[in-house]
Structure formats: structure tokens, C-alpha cells
Amino acid sequence: MDKDSIKESIKYELLYTFAKDIGQATTEELYMAFALTVRNEIMKKWANTKKIMESGEYKTLYYLSIEFLTGKFWGNNIINIDDIEIYKQVCNELGIPFSQLEEYENEPGIGNGGLGRLAAAFMESLTTLNLPAYGCGIRYEYGLFNQKIINGYQIEHADNWLSDRNVWEVECKDEIVEVKFGGNIIETWEDGRLKIDYRNYYSIYAIPYDIPVVGYDSDIVNTLRLWSAKSYNDINMDWFNRGNYLKASEEKVLAESISKVLYPEDNNPDGKRLRLKQQYFFVSATIQNIIKKSKGKFPLWALSDNVVIHINDTHPALAIPELMRILMDEEGMGWDEAWNITTKTCAYTNHTIMGEALEKWPIDLFKEVLPRIYMIIKEINDRQLHRLNREGTNDWEKIDKMTIIAYDQIRMANLCLEGCYSINGVSKLHTDILKKEVFSDFYAIFPHKFHSVTNGITYRRWLMHANPGLSDLITDAIGTRWKYDSHELEGLHKFSEDSAFRDSFSDVKRYNKQKLAKYISDKTGIHVDPESIFDVQIKRIHEYKRQFLNVLNILYMYDLLLENPSRDIHPRTFIFAGKAAPGYYRAKLIIKLINSIANRINGDIRLNNKLKVVFLENYNVTLAEKIIPAAEISEQISTAGMEASGTGNMKLMLNGALTLGTLDGANVEIKEAVGDQNIFIFGLTADQVENYHKYGGYNSKAIYDNDANVKKVVNQLVNGFLSPENSMMFRSLYNYLLYEEGGITDRYMILKDFDSYRHVHSIVDDQYKMPDIWWKKAILNVAGAGRFSSDESIKNYNSDIWHLSKMGD
């Protein structure tokens, strides 16, 4: 659309939706009018894509994920339809700040972190590459809680992201699906076949809401289909007539609780009944929908030629028994035929290797909520055992690890390994660990099933949208091809030698830092120096991610500066952001610790502003878009072997931050991409960590006793230095470092890695003092980031696992 038609459309929407003209409209109404205008630009392509997909001509991917962390829609969609300049001009001419409209939109926080963000990125890249796909998930009415920091503590507030009309979704009432829970199963034999009679169940309706997924300059618009739970009975008239109004709507409240709130746990399942219901709810609705659409287009035995069902971590793993159920109970197939189809159609990605993060469900709970699905899983389990026996596996330790049902629990990862034709890790290192350790027994039997696909990011959002200054600078240097093909960023390599380019590059960074400094001061009242090094750690708060290690090093730097305030270090601003799961006590205590240190340091005038610590509340995609363009050091310091990939690391390098990290997850590949000189690596390797763990850990007390600096820092946790009002406050963190817990001391190897961590920080300080060298490294990071585009990940998924054809080909 040209400028004038956009203006016309905005006026039209204001008039016919709100009976107002531009001068009268509120920000909300202006936002709506702009959003509807952008939406109108998408609709035709969307309708067309839907029609072609309905025809059944193309093999279609269904990407099942319990989270999709899309970020705000409006600005990103404008970037993707390549209209950003025009919209900015329109805003200018109408005197409406573009940023004000952007700010107005609520971010759909319907994901916890990496897994959810990846799912959204993949949908976008699938579209960009013209590959037909549905994203399938839950339309949570409340997303991840909003985080407030009060007196240094995290306080959670409900995130009512749907409070305004959501113009980006379309309710599809005509595709409503019934999902059944509870009850009991009567098995009878009829004509030599097992007949399943499902009785006394209760039904919940699933209503799909479709959101268009816009790719960059793409021919198609894919669909994100989120299911909302709806009760069959809105009101029970018996109770109502008797005057019991609470009882009258009880059923509705209970039924609709299924899609009410996103569980805030990340990497830490807690086996709740409602969570199990959420999983079955969206999986069953999706699979029923797939089968219904498939019938009439092709015979169901050919399902795997036409459909791929991708299981994003184990949360949608019930897709396997649900597909079996429908093929057998509703379509009349026998077990072998159904199993053959299912195992050729489903594929699984693992996102986490930590034992406690692998989902398991108690059998009793499971049987009660999903009796028929339980029977099917039991049968899969029994057949697996038979097969293992037949194959002569009599190593009981091995069988014990591989079975799906054991110790009164159902192990979802094992179900996926049995029931899927493909399993992949999300970085090279992660896949190696899956093959060698976590799933080594499966790997021995099904080596052909294993793939490695490194994660990626929507680099356009993180450059063109979040960092327009850098984006323009890149375009000036190498043209616009990089917007289509991320590998073109390699063209920046030669500019790293060009001092004029380096100057412009550092000017962009300075500008972004000034903007962030202003945001920090507006939000927190803390003044940070834009000339200081912006050192950021932004991610979920988790022990394995080791924000604690970062904090100990800050304390150490603080101590050094107090000893000698004129010590020659470049001023540093440490920026943290991230949420802790509400029930995760220690993670919440770490937030308090960061804030206590911030308080102490920021108020200490002896430091001459050489050190500042900031915790920005309510980390989400929108906040990430503000922090990342201003970052110079990217802290990726998880205990090696524990971060499956990481994707924040990729966004930060793309924006010219240097990684300071362990050889973990995708950091290993970042190092390959930028070269050893352009990354700061420290700490134990994954093999070393694994070895220590095998032999009961290491002696952290010895490190504490033998290093006076370490001792001082660790003691400061408990001597009132940080919490004069209550010196016991951080005692449990102190104990964690020095005393055994669950058979191991300092499980995350914090003190073990401390020495090399502080050493690498001093190297950072030295190198920042040499701007030519520093900016060269930063530019080489941008140049090397192209391989981490989610377009690239999707190409790899497609060639190795999905085998979809481009629409239009």
C-alpha cells in the first residue's frame, strides 16, 4: 500500500469502528486503526494460503507446542511486509509517534522462555520459506506473570494480555472440537475385534483462534492455531433455580480453567493434574482436527506422506497415543497399522537434558484423567518390552532406563523415542550428549532416528526491528541482500578492518546504550554511564544458568575496588533481567541477592561510578528488544552440559555483543563461527563436569580455604555485608556453596569455575581498553551470526526430517 491509501484506511477504520476522526481518537483507537490496516494487508494472502492448504495438495507440518512466545505483532508484521518506512512516514505526517503505538500493544506472554520463543521463530521462518505449517497450542487467557520487584523481591501479578480486543486473532467457531476426560472404559469383543466403549466421561469444547503468521517478503501466510477451552454448560439451571449461583457456574469455571493460565515452570515439571489436562486438551483437539481435515483428501494409511506432527519437547507427547486412539477406536484400524502410521508421522525435539526436567506422570493420576490413553501407553510399553526381549536385550539396567512405564510413572521422553521417527537435539553438543548419555540405549537401537538441528533466531526482528541503526549501517555497507539471506552478513567481515566503519559501528552502539541508560534511569532511578561496558545476563533465573556466579564476581570486583578505588578498570554496568518460577525458592533468593548487591554498590560513592548493577523487572520479548542492541558483553555462563542450546546468545552476538561463556550449548558453535579470538571462553568442559558428577563432585571447601579472595566474597553472603538487617538472609546460598546437598556440594560448579571466570573478566577489561580491537571483534560477531538464523534451522529440519515442499513449487 502507498502512503495515501494507508492514511485512508486508518481514517476509515477510525470512522467505522469508533465513529471518530484522527484528532478525537485515543491511543488505543489509533493503535486499533493502524493494526487493522496492517491486518487488512495480510488477509488476502492468508485466505489464499488457507484455501490451498485445505486442498490437500501440499504435505503440511503441524508444530505442536505448549508455548508460543511471539512477541508483539504489529511492528514485526510491518517489517515483514516491508512497509516500515512508509508507516513511519505516515506516523510522522499524522503527528503520532510510531513508538507510542508500538508500546500500546500488549505482548502475548504465552511462553516461558527459549522453547516458546523458538516455536514462534520457527513459525515465522516456515512462512518466510513458503513451507505450509500450522503452529498448534493453547490460547492462555493469562500469560506468564508480570514481574514486579518490591524491596528487591520478585512479586508476581497476573498477565491479562487479552484485556483489550485482540485484532490479530480470528475465532473459528465452525471448527470446534470435543475433548473427553475421565470416565471409564468397557472393552468388548465384537466380530473378533476389540471394541472400546467409553462411558461417564465429561466433555470440554476446544475453540480454535487463528493468528496469521507473516514471513519476510513471503508468498504465503501460515496459521498459529491456539485452542481455548469452553464449557458445554454455561450455567446449570437446576442449581440456578435453587438459588445457588456459585454452584450454577462451577462446571463452567472448572472446564474453562484449562486454558486460563500458562504454567510458569521452566525446566521443572511439577506433575499437576491441570497441566496434564492442558496437554491432552490441545493435543487431542489438534489431532482430531488433522484427521478430520485429512479424510476425504487422502486415505489415512497415507497420513505420513501428507502430514508431519512435530512434538516440541515432551509436553505434546500425548499426540502419539491420541493418534493411535483415533486410528483404532474411531477409524477401525488394527494396532499394527495404526502404529505404523503413527511412528511414521510423529517427530520429536528434545530441549533439555537435566534429569529433573524430563516429564513424568504418576500412573494413578494419569489413569483417572485419561483412562483410554493410559491403556494405549501401557500397550506401547508392553510391546516395547517384548521387542527388547526378542532382540535379546537382557541387560535389566538398560531395560529399566528405556521403558515408558516404571516406578509408577509414565516417562514422556521414552514414549517419544519409541513413537517418533525422528528425535533431535538443539545444538551439536546437546545432540552428542543425548546420544552418548541421556538416550544412549535408544541410540544404540535406533541410530537412524537421531538428528542434530541447531536452534536459530528471527534475525530480522532482532536487527531490523530492534536495532534499526545497526540495520541501516549494515545495509549501507553490504546492500540489502542480507535481509533475505542471513549468510550475506559475512560480507561485514572485511569491514571489520575499516576504521571508519568501526567508528560508525561504535556510534550506533553508543546511541543504543544511551537509549537504554535513559530507560534504566526512568524505570529504576539508577544512573548508569553510557561509556561503561554494558555487561548483560538476561534469561530465566535458574541455578544452572548461574546468575549466582556472575554475582560472586561482581562482589569480587567490588572488593578489589574498595581495596584500591583508583584501580585502573574500565567502568562496568552489569545488567540483569529474568523471571524466576514462583515456586522456585532459590531462584527468587538470587533475585533478591542481585538487588541487594545493586543497592549496596550503586550507593557506594567510593567507587567513582566504576561499577553499577541493575536488575530490570519483567523480562519479556519487548524488554529484550531494548536491552540487546545496547549490550557489549553477553553472559552465557551455564554449567557446561546443562544449557541445551541457548538462543539469547545468538541474538546478542548478532547485535555485536561479545560472548563471555562456557563451552555449552550453542556457545560451542558460536566459537566456531567467530573464531577463538572473538569470544571469551572459561570454565570446565561438559566432559569435565560430567566426570566430576560421576565421582561425587569436587571439594569446594578447599577452594574456599585456599583463596583469600574467594573466602572473602563467600563470607560476605553471611556477615551482614549485603543484608545488614538480616545477615541470615543469604545463608542458604552460602550453604549451597560449601555443604553437601543431595549427595553433592556445589552441583553447578560455581566455585570450581570461579577462578577462570574472574580471569576472563579481567581479559575483557584489558581488551575494551583497545577500541580498535574491540570493535573489530564486535563486527566479526555480527558477520558470523548469519548461520544462527531460524531460516537456517528450518531448512535443516526440512531436509533432514520433514520433507515438505515449498508452496507454489
CB of 360 to ligand 26W, least distance (A): 11
Nearer to ligand 26W, 231 or 662 (CB): 662
Instruction: Kindly give the residue spans of alpha helices, DSSP state H, lying in 695-770.
Output: 700-706, 708-715, 731-738, 750-768
Rounded CA Rg of the chain: 27
Cβ distance 453 to 797 under 8 Å? Answer: yes
Residue nearest to ligand 26W (CB): 114
Q: Residue 219 has which C-alpha cell?
A: 508468498
CB of 426 to ligand 26W, least distance (A): 4
Nearer to ligand 26W, 544 or 736 (CB): 544
Cβ distance 384 to 376 under 8 Å? Answer: no
CB of 454 to ligand 26W, least distance (A): 10
647 as an active site residue: the answer is yes
Chain residues that interact with ligand 26W, rule: CB under 6 A: 112-115, 118, 265-269, 313, 351-352, 357, 426, 455, 643-647, 665
- With CA atoms as reference, report the closest residue to 698 among 707, 706, 687, 689: 689
CB of 15 to ligand 26W, least distance (A): 45
Nearer to ligand 26W, 112 or 166 (CB): 112
CB of 288 to ligand 26W, least distance (A): 25
651 as an active site residue: the answer is yes
For residue 173, what are the contacts with CB-CB under 8 A and spacing of at least 6?
Answer: 207
Q: Residue 675 has which C-alpha cell?
A: 573464531
Nearer to ligand 26W, 673 or 718 (CB): 673
Residue 568: CB atoms within 10 A of its CB come to: 8
515 as an active site residue: the answer is no
Q: Which of 513, 651, 671, 758 is catalytic?
A: 651
d(CA 45, CA 33): 20
Task: Report long-range pairs for 432-437 (Cβ below 8 Å, ≥24 apart).
Answer: 433/353, 433/641, 433/686, 434/350, 434/353, 437/353, 437/690
Nearer to ligand 26W, 474 or 689 (CB): 689
Q: Which of 275, 367, 460, 540 is catalytic?
A: 540
Nearer to ligand 26W, 313 or 490 (CB): 313
Q: Which of 60, 345, 458, 647 is catalytic?
A: 647
Q: Residue 534 has which C-alpha cell?
A: 554494558
Nearer to ligand 26W, 435 or 776 (CB): 435
Nearer to ligand 26W, 265 or 529 (CB): 265
d(CA 80, CA 125): 11
Q: Residue 178 has which C-alpha cell?
A: 470435543
CB of 275 to ligand 26W, least distance (A): 7
CB of 68 to ligand 26W, least distance (A): 12
Q: Residue 180 has which C-alpha cell?
A: 473427553
3-state secondary structure at position 190: strand
CB of 128 to ligand 26W, least distance (A): 19
Q: Phi then psi for 497, rounded to 5 degrees?
A: -90, -5
Q: Which of 39, 139, 275, 351 is catalytic?
A: 351
CB of 553 to ligand 26W, least distance (A): 22
Nearer to ligand 26W, 420 or 613 (CB): 420
545 as an active site residue: the answer is yes
Three-state secondary structure string covering 584-650: CHHHHHHHHHHHHHHHHHHCCHHHCCCEEEEEECCCCHHHHHHHHHHCCEEEECCCCCCCCCCCHHH
d(CA 419, CA 346): 7
- With CA atoms as reference, report the closest residue to 276 among 142, 344, 182, 160: 182
626 as an active site residue: the answer is no
Helix (H) or strand (E) holding 114: helix 114-128
CB of 683 to ligand 26W, least distance (A): 17
3-state secondary structure at position 447: helix
**Residue 539 carries which DSSP code?**
S
Q: Phi then psi for 421, rounded to 5 degrees?
A: -85, -10
3-state secondary structure at position 368: helix
Q: Which of 411, 545, 546, 588 is catalytic?
A: 545
d(CA 104, CA 108): 12
Nearer to ligand 26W, 269 or 371 (CB): 269
d(CA 743, CA 672): 36
d(CA 554, CA 393): 53
Helix (H) or strand (E) holding 62: strand 60-64
Q: Are strands 177-181 and 202-214 parallel, antiparallel or unpaired?
A: antiparallel
Residues designated as active site: 351, 539-540, 545, 647, 651
